[in-house]
Structures are given as structure tokens and as C-alpha cells.
Amino acid sequence: MLSTMQDVPLTVTRILDHGVRVHGTSQITTWTGEGDPHRRTFAETGARVAQLAHALHDDLGIRGDDRVATLMWNNAEHVEAYFAAPAMGAVLHTLNLRLPAEQLTWIVRHAADRVIIVNGSLLPLLAPLLPGLETVEHLVVSGPGDRSLLDGARPQVHEYEDLIAGKPTTYDWPELDERQAAAMCYTSGTTGDPKGVVYSHRSIYLHSMQVNMTQSMGLTDADTSLVVVPQFHVNAWGLPHATFMTGVNMLMPDRFLQPAPLAAMIESERPTHAAAVPTIWQGLLAELTARPRDVSTLTQVTIGGSACPPSLMKAFDDLGMRVCHAWGMTETSPLGTVARPPAHVEPGSDEEFAYRLTQGRFPAGVEARLTGPGGEQLPWDGKSAGELEVRGNWIAGAYYGGADADGEPLRPEDKFSEDGWLKTGDVGTISPDGFLTLTDRAKDVIKSGGEWISSVDLENALMSHPDVAEAAVVAVPDDKWGERPLATVVLKEGSSADFETLRDFLAEKVAKWQLPERWTIVPAVPKTSVGKFDKKVLRKQYADGDLDVTQL
């Protein structure tokens, strides 16, 4: 028997309509550096989304599933593109502005982007690439920046505001199939070609509902979310869509991502929530320690993208900002787990802190299993470590197109199991009550004499030393043991801890056989395009003899 229920497609258009009608007075505030921030309501945004869609359709000839790319900071215009392209049936492609030039070119060509909406301040990055971007017919430039960089450029150049000016403020949005592509994002993978993940209207809709659940971010229209995680990094973790469902106000930092302006915008705009990777929070913590500010409104901080060091969580707790740790990937939209402790644990207890440090619990929409080295399924006993595999309503089942984007989906064996689950490449355990603890990326695990050493455990232990600002641990070849850990340490300004002291400190926290023999001080840990430790670079620096290593 079929159900008697209506079958209304789950679309980004519905999220937009709802935000504009029901939460029309909620605001998107964009930081401008100097002077007043720029403010626009959801209702005003809705009108401009319609105008942008008219411009894309009537003036730039966007049809069907044409790709509309953005090379933008987090700001109100970027949110407009987030809704206009998918609602008109096209595909939004967010470009990562921190990728090396060749990768950016490769991605634009692979996705066959026809239009790039670009912030003026990013023209120095884009202009030199234009000769290689044959598919791009139009550039739409928004915000301050030197337009003369585009003199003689081949794509037609348009001013964002001029293009949308005078266009109708409503749009007769098409009926869409919910399984249709709405947005795409390439993985920031540090090996091989980037891989395109294509989100459907349905996956975005369901993911947004999950983001809004109390067990996830649980925000309401009384909240303002400081969206630091870039809109090109997995759709800013789904926040622009989720906020339009619930009327959460958005505070957008634009290009002002340094610790000092972030602290200033928190003090003056008084957000209640913020989301970013640990690197950003480490920087903000140092800033707030050096120059204290009133950040008392910011009581909920979502941290993900890399493991949250316990020392960071503790320091933020002390500042009254409660960290909520979460795990996800480009392939998982990204929300995979959120670390909200179960009801029975006592608030403030060690047990609660331990739960908060895990990557968290899976929501109903994400099924998980752990696979051992021989392909066997491992129990959820909190001890058996294996590769995490997931499947669900907002999890990728393939990548976009073959090498020449020929329309055939890509399902590499190392990324998808035979029965269609996503192999995350993350290694960890799951407790009987469903909490995930990641010990490493499969490729970062240190295999020493047949035993595995978790680089994350060593890093967390090191970063809890008061003199250590950052620490990354990587596997390096060792004649006797196969691999051994190399500790790369960034010391806090003015501190002078020596390696013996740090090793003795570690010895109190990890098993003796795990203690690194090789140590080096670096000015900063190399970072990937989305701000994570770039261990591939560290391993190469070591192999090339570029690090000054002390053997203890």
C-alpha cells in the first residue's frame, strides 16, 4: 500500500521562501572592516535573490543545470548566490579561494563553470587564471577591488549591483526534482585530483533540518551565528541554509578573518554562536588572552574540521564559550556527528568533558559502521578501532564525473564499499552508546613495530603544555620500527621549553613506547586550504631534510 501523504519536493527554493516569508526580519550582517557593518534582512535578501536569478537567466543566459561559481568571502551577496542559482535550477559551485592556482583552474574546467561571481578583493587571485578558464563566459564582480586587473579579460565583466539593479524582485521559480543537483564543492584532499561532491536539493533540505535539531546546533531566531567557516568549505557547514529555516541571524566576517577583527566583531555585534576549525579558535584565544574583550554573548562555539584539542576546549570553557565538537567531511554535507553528552552525565564532571571531547554521536540520518583491516565489521565497544564507513540521506554516493567530467559518476574503490557506503578514511572507535572517537586519518596513523600510535593523542597531549601553541605529529621512516613519530612543535611567544621537558611532560600522559625520539621546532605548522594541519607537507619537509631535527 502506498501512503496517503503529499509528496512535496524538498528543495532549496522552499527553504528560501520560508526564510523570506516567516523570518523576513532576521538579518545578515557583513563586517566591513571600517565603518558600520552592512545589514540586510532576509526579506531584502529574498528580493535580491530574485533579481540575481533574473540577471543570471535573462542577461547571462544561464539555463538548466549550468554551473554558477562563486569565488567569495562569507558575505550577504554570497548568500544571495547560494539561493539564486539552485532555486532557478542551476548549480552553485563554491570555489575555495585558498587553493593553489593550478587546482583552482582544474576545478573550474572540470565543473565547466559558465559564470564566476567574484569579490573584487579576490581579483588579484582570479585575473591571472582567466586565460586558462575557457568555459567561463561571464564574471560578475561584487564589492571593493581593483577592476583594472580585468582590462582586456576575455570573459564579459559585469558589476554585481548594476546587473541586478531594476530587475523584478520576485521570480517564478521552476518546479524542481528534489534529487536534482543544487550545489557542488570539491574536496580539499591533499593527494590526487580534487573530487567534486554534488549536493541535491533533498540532501541540503534534510541536512539543514539536522543542523537545526537541538542535538546538533539547535539555534533559533533569538540567535546570531558568526559564520567563520568559509562558505566554500562544505557550504559553511550548512549554516546559510539552516539559518533560513529557523531565522537565525548571520554575522559574516567577509575577508576580516584575523583574530583581532574577529574579536572586535564578537564584542560589537554580540553573536551567540560561532563555527570554525580549531586553528581559528587557537588564534582568537591568543588574541583574547593578550587583549581581553567582552565576548560574553558568545556561549556556543561549534568546532570541527580537525580534532578539538582538550586544552582549547578547556580554555574556551574558562572564557564562558562552550565548545561543541563535531565531525564531518565535504562528502557528508558535512554534519556527521555532534558531541552532545547524554542526559545521564553530570554537568561539569570529568565524564561529561570526556564525552564532549569525542567526535560525537550520529544522528538518525547517518548510519555508521567500523571496518577492520580484513574487511570485517567491528563491534561498537569503544575499544575496537577500524575505518569509519557511513551512509545516509546527506552522504555522497559517488563523485562528479570522470577525468573529463563526462557525466559518469566516479566511485573509486578506496572511497566507496561494494555495497555503497562511503569509506571516510578516518580511523576510530564507537562506544556502545554511539559516540565516535577518532584516533587518526588512516594515512596519518603511525605504524610502529606492528602497533599503531595515534598522532592526534600525542598532539593533544603536547598542546596541553602551557608553552606549546601548536603541535603536529607525523610518521617518519625508522629502520628498526618501520615508522616512528616526529614531534613538530610551535612554541608560544616568549617561551623556551626544551625537548627534554616536553618529552617528560608527554611521558606522564602516554605509554613510554609511544614517546617521540625526533623533535623539531617550527615557526608554524603548515596548513591546508581549509586551515587543517598539512601533514603531507611536514612529511615531505622531513624527507627533504628541510627540518632541523633533534634526536633525544
User: Residue from 40, 202, 325, 361 that binds ligand AMP (CB under 6 A)?
Assistant: 325
Q: Is 536 near ligand AMP (CB under 6 A)?
A: no
Q: Is 368 near ligand AMP (CB under 6 A)?
A: no
Distance from C-alpha of 244 to C-alpha of 409, rounded to nearest angstrom = 31
Stretch that binds ligand AMP, among 38-46, 118-126, 149-157, 299-307 (CB under 6 A): 299-307
Residue 176's Cα: distance from chain center in Å?
A: 27
Contacts with 523 (C-beta within 8 Å, 6 or more apart), sequence order = 490
Calculate ∠ Cα 173-175-177, nearest 5°: 130
CB–CB of 360/340 below 8 Å?
yes
Q: If binding means CB under 6 A, how many residues of this protein chain bind ligand AMP? A: 21
For the CB of residue 117, give the shortest distance to ligand AMP in the complex, in Å.
Answer: 22
Query: Is 519 a catalytic site residue?
Result: no
For the CB of residue 233, give the shortest distance to ligand AMP in the complex, in Å.
Answer: 7
Sheet holding 113-119, edge to edge: 156-159, 138-142, 113-119, 67-71, 91-94, 181-186, 196-200
**Measuring CA to CA, which residue among 439, 436, 429 is closest to residue 459?**
439
Distance from C-alpha of 241 to C-alpha of 231, rounded to nearest angstrom = 11
Nearer to ligand AMP by Cβ, of 16 and 436: the residue is 436
Q: Is 430 near ligand AMP (CB under 6 A)?
A: no
Query: Dihedral, CA atoms, 524, 525, 526, 527, nearest 10 degrees?
Result: -110
Classify the phi-psi angles of 24: left when phi > 0, otherwise alpha if psi is within -120 to 50, otherwise beta. alpha
Contact string (CB under 6 A) for ligand AMP, positions 188-217, x = contact: x-----------------------------
Calculate ∠ Cα 267-269-272, nearest 5°: 85
For the CB of residue 249, give the shortest distance to ligand AMP in the complex, in Å.
Answer: 25
Nearer to ligand AMP by Cβ, of 155 and 304: the residue is 304
Q: What is the DSSP string of 83-130?
A: HHHHHTT-EEEE--TTS-HHHHHHHHHHHTEEEEEEEGGGHHHHGGGG
For the CB of residue 189, give the shortest distance to ligand AMP in the complex, in Å.
Answer: 8
Query: Is 331 a catalytic site residue?
Result: yes
**Strand partners for 345:** none
Nearer to ligand AMP by Cβ, of 140 and 338: the residue is 338
Contact string (CB under 6 A) for ligand AMP, positions 220-259, x = contact: --------------x-------------------------
Q: Is 424 near ligand AMP (CB under 6 A)?
A: yes
Q: Is 520 near ligand AMP (CB under 6 A)?
A: no
Nearer to ligand AMP by Cβ, of 90 and 277: the residue is 277
Stretch that binds ligand AMP, among 103-111, 200-208, 322-330, 361-369 (CB under 6 A): 322-330
Q: Is 441 near ligand AMP (CB under 6 A)?
A: yes
**Measuring CA to CA, which residue among 250, 308, 419 is closest to residue 239?**
250
Q: Is 304 near ligand AMP (CB under 6 A)?
A: yes
User: Residue from 359, 429, 454, 488 that binds ligand AMP (CB under 6 A)?
Assistant: 359
Distance from C-alpha of 497 to C-alpha of 470, rounded to nearest angstrom = 13
Q: Is 530 near ligand AMP (CB under 6 A)?
A: yes
Query: Is 452 a catalytic site residue?
Result: yes
Cell digits for 82? 547560494
| Alpha-carbon Rg for the chain in angstroms | 24
User: Residue from 305, 363, 401, 531 that binds ligand AMP (CB under 6 A)?
Assistant: 305
Query: Is 173 a catalytic site residue?
Result: no
For the CB of residue 516, give the shortest distance to ligand AMP in the complex, in Å.
Answer: 20
Contacts with 375 (C-beta within 8 Å, 6 or more apart), sequence order = none
Q: Is 12 near ligand AMP (CB under 6 A)?
A: no
- Catalytic residue positions, numbered: 187, 331, 447, 452
Interface with ligand AMP (CB under 6 A)? 187-188, 234, 304-307, 325-330, 334, 359, 424-426, 438, 441, 530
